[in-house]
Structure formats: structure tokens, C-alpha cells
Structure 1
């Protein structure tokens, strides 16, 4: 299998981790891997088929090597994957000192990715609804390893490509149950798979229209569409309203208030129209979170019901 190689010299000092780091779902994500040679490996189900893409930096030049039927698509999209659509020229971090500090530290190389793969990003977000990150990562890994296909090319061990829409549609209800995915989320995933073509078109729609199309699916709300927009569509304004932790942690980091709400978060982000998701991510990168209160959330087990 001959790889497709592309070299691209961005006009900014691109950071692979700063731009694509939010795509990885834990150390064992079968679609995302960092290797000791500082390369970043990703798999994707492109419109042309499965692809593995290896990215590395050489003296400011991004070198992409891709394998599989979708290799040419992944190579062609390289600039957009690394945030070329993300215009930061109008971003002013000065309204808040923490944002300004974080932008000074990370902003030079950090952009909002536009991976262009909609269904797999949407399914990943649906799996993350109303459960812990650990539960979601387990279900994601199970889906890829059981119904996906091995990553093409010389990918690191246990990397897989997201299954086809038809393969997702064929997953039986008992298998979702065994994987800890409740009926509500599995039904939403099956609906999404049945509209895979329409959803993929979101990659080329204006952000508001794309999000409206996703949210027209029962079970997909503003939180889920925001997660997809921030990872797959290059939307730097997408904020995770409705998240169990985001409002509380971001509000606490910016103000010291421990009772953060979505309404308060919206107030704090108001000075940055078009860049609110960027600010959310910058603040989250501090690692600051509000002090724990109350009992720890217990993972749910749907396998026995």
C-alpha cells in the first residue's frame, strides 16, 4: 500500500497537540495516538473510505503520511484539519487576565480543527452524553474494536477506523446493552447512522445551519452539536453549554465563584463573540476546577437491564 505524502508549511507555528489534542479520548483511544518520536497518528472514516494519517513537524513544516482509500482525502484536508479555517486575527484575549495569560502561553500554535468527519464525531459525542468519561471511552473503544476495521498502513498497534454507517446500523440492541450504552443513546446513534449522508454535508455548511441540521435529530441537543462543531467543523464559537462540569469549572477559574451556571458562563464569555469556544478551551487548559462538593458520581451499568 503506497502512502500519500504531503508537506504543508503553515503561516503560524502550528502545535499538533494544541490543535488536535482535544480529539483524543484517553490514552487508549483507538483513533488517536502520540508515539515516542513525537508523531501524531489519527484514523478516520473519510467520505472516500478508511484512512490512517501520521503527522509530524519538521522545522515548521507539517509532514502528513496517509494510507488507505481515504488517504488522498485526508491529505487534501490537512490544512483544515490543523485549523487553517480558524481566523484568530480578531481575537482579543485582554478582557480577562487568565485568558490573556493562556493565550500568551498557547495561542501561537493553537487553532480549532476542522476534521470534516461528522458521523464518527457525532457518535463519539452521543456516547459521552450523561455518563462519565471513563464509561464513554470504554464504549467508544468497544465500538471501534468490535465493529470497526484495523487501521490501514503501519499504524500503531490496536488502532482502528470507525465503522461504516451500515455497520453501526447493524449493531444489535443486546450488544449496545453489553457495552454499557443505554437505549436512549443507542437509538440516537442508530438515527444518526441512518442520516449519515445528510450529516456529512454539515462539513460544508455554515456552522449555524450545520448545528441546526444535527439538532433536528431527536437525542441531539446543543451540547452534542457543540462538541461536533468544535472538533469536526472548525467552530471556534462552540461552547459546551449543558455540560455537567464545564460551566462550574470555567466560572470558578475565571471568578472564584463555586456555583457556576450556563447563564453565568454565557455572561463571562460574552466579550468574545465568535471565539467563545476558544476561550472555554483556554480556560480548561489551566486545569483549574471548582472544589469537589457532595458524593462522587457513580458510573451507571445498563448491562443488566
Structure 2
């Protein structure tokens, strides 16, 4: 989902989590890695499934290439890993490199929505039904990793998308490490380990445009990184409760995290600046809707409210802008 919205958004989750994956002629990666082929049940749109994992077009951990492949670099429990995913004759071919390669391939089906149940969703509104009909390949990803979704979500608290993307890009490139394997031509980076996040000097947070409140929240989270990652074995609601024990992590941030780490179909984002108005406008023509109204409108989708909200975002039914965009700040220049 999203904490900010613009009629011409750049954040993938604002659009419902879609990344354009060019349809090209598949080609083999340049260096041999471990391989797994998986056949999905039903249609699968890689751009829709993996789109919410990209933090802006310059995300150093994510690349979509002209050959139709999607590349991701992750810090797994087994170590850094690079994963290339591409369609291959009705199946999906996953190829991975690095210490985390086996871990990534073991979880490839879940990453591509195998544990999701889109057939359980019943549209109750024409807008939602139309969006679902036009996007049959939508499935909810489950990464099985908490911090890689939690940290960028904290960076996105109460700032513009450009500011959040820039902070994530600068911090990962400066303090992360190059992804193993061919890694999309050497242009992928693995995010920093928890200890590395904890050792980032205050002035580097400042240069990246991250205020003390968000930096302190990330530092508190990485100091209990093990407890954070344990939440992936909990239900989404239990995981949100655990995350919110950390000061600075509220319902918005925890929902944004479990939507990705758990594939949580019901974790609707509350506390969002624009989402209630978008849902209210699409379902009831009410652009002034608040969280309570949004939740009431989504009640018919109990158990699937996140999926319903994503479909609404993908429908493109948004209220016309009436107020100026949120001003962009850059504390790094102060």
C-alpha cells in the first residue's frame, strides 16, 4: 500500500504494486547459478507480484530487465543472495547465487504467491470486479524476511516518496555490499546487515535526509533483529503486534511490512494520508473518507481487505487533486 499518493505516482505500491516487466526473449544469465523451475497454478504476472518489493525506480536491490527477468538481492538467514526470476515456457525459472541461493530458491513459490489464495476473493463492487478481471495474474508475495521490508517502510514515514527512495538508495549503496553472482550486470546491492545499520554514523543519516526520529526507530529495530525476524513465523496480526512493540513502529509501518513479509491479504494500511480518500472515492464517491469510513467500506472484504485495496489502486479510480503536493524537504542540505 502507500503512505503517500499522487495522481502521477512514482511509488510502485501506490499503483497497487505493479512494475513493468518488459516482454522479451529470455536469455541465460552470464554465470552459472543454482536453478529451480516452478509451474504456477493459474496466471502469474511477475510485475504485479514482485512490484511491491521495489522501492522506487532506482532501488539498488531490485532490477527489471528488458529480457523479461526480475532480479532481487536479499540478505537471507543463510547470507547474501541474488535471485533472478523469469518466465520460461509456462513455468517460472529461478536462478540464484551466493550463500543465500538455496534459501531463496526453497522459497521461490511463496515469493511468487504460491501460499496466496486469490480464488477466495469475492468482489462486491464493480470497480473491484473490473480491476480483478483485468489483472488475473495478481498474487500476494511472501518474502519470509521482515527487516528488508520494515527498514524501507520506516524510511517512508511522513515524507515524500522521492525523499524515502533517495534515503534507501544512498544508504544501501554506501553501507550494503555488492550482490553475489552476475547480479544484473553488477548493478545490484544487498542491504546492510543489522550490525552495519547500527553502526551508521549520525551524519550519514543526515546526509541521506533521514531525521533523527526515523533513524532512531531503525536503530531500535536492528538491535532486536532476531526478534523481528522471528515474527515471520507468526500470524500477520501477531507479527504486527510484535513489530509495534518497538517505539516508532505503528500500524501503518507494521501493515506495510507484513503485506510483503507474510503476504498478508487482510493487512489493510491504516493511518495513511491518502488511501482512505482513494477507497472512499472508488467505492462510495466520498473523497473525504477517513480510516473509519475506509474500514467500513472494506468490511465486506474481511480477510481480504489488503487485496481489495490493491485492486482499487490498480483500477486507477482516484479523486482529482485539490491541494498542492506535499513539499519536499532535504535535511541533508541544512
* Equivalent position to 1:142, from 170, 178, 197: 170
Partner of 2:219: 190
Q: Do the aligned partners of 1:14 and 1:60 also contact (CA within 8 Å) in 2?
A: no
Corresponding residue SS for 1:260: coil
Cα deviation code 1:263-298 (max 9, x no counterpart): 111011000111000000011012332221233211
Q: Which aligned pairs between 1:122-161 and structure 2 lie closer than 5 A?
A: 122-156=150-184, 157-161=186-190
* Equivalent position to 1:27, from 45, 57, 71: 57
Q: CA deviation at 1:211?
A: 0.9
* TM-score, normalised with respect to structure 1: 0.96
Q: Which aligned pairs between 1:32-181 and structure 2 lie closer than 5 A?
A: 32-93=62-123, 95-106=124-135, 108-156=136-184, 157-181=186-210
User: What's the RMSD between the two structures over aligned residues?
Assistant: 1.3
Q: CA deviation at 1:17?
A: 0.9
* TM-score, normalised with respect to structure 2: 0.88
More displaced 10-residue stretch of structure 1: 8-17 or 210-219: 8-17
Q: CA deviation at 1:250?
A: 2.1
Size of the aligned set, in residue pairs, is 303
Q: CA deviation at 1:2?
A: 4.9
Structure with larger RCO (C-alpha < 8 A, sep 6+):
2
Q: Matches of 2:323 and 2:301 in 1, distance apart? A: 33
* Equivalent position to 2:323, from 281, 290, 294: 294
Q: CA deviation at 1:27?
A: 1.4
Cα deviation code 1:25-61 (max 9, x no counterpart): 2211111111000101111111111111000111221
Cα deviation code 1:143-180 (max 9, x no counterpart): 11000001111112431011100100000111101110
5+ residue gaps, structure 1: none
Q: Matches of 1:35 and 1:301 in 2, distance apart? A: 31
Corresponding residue SS for 1:54: strand
Partner of 1:234: 263
5+ residue gaps, structure 2: 1-30
* Aligned structure 1 segments of 4 or more residues deviating by more than 6 angstroms: none
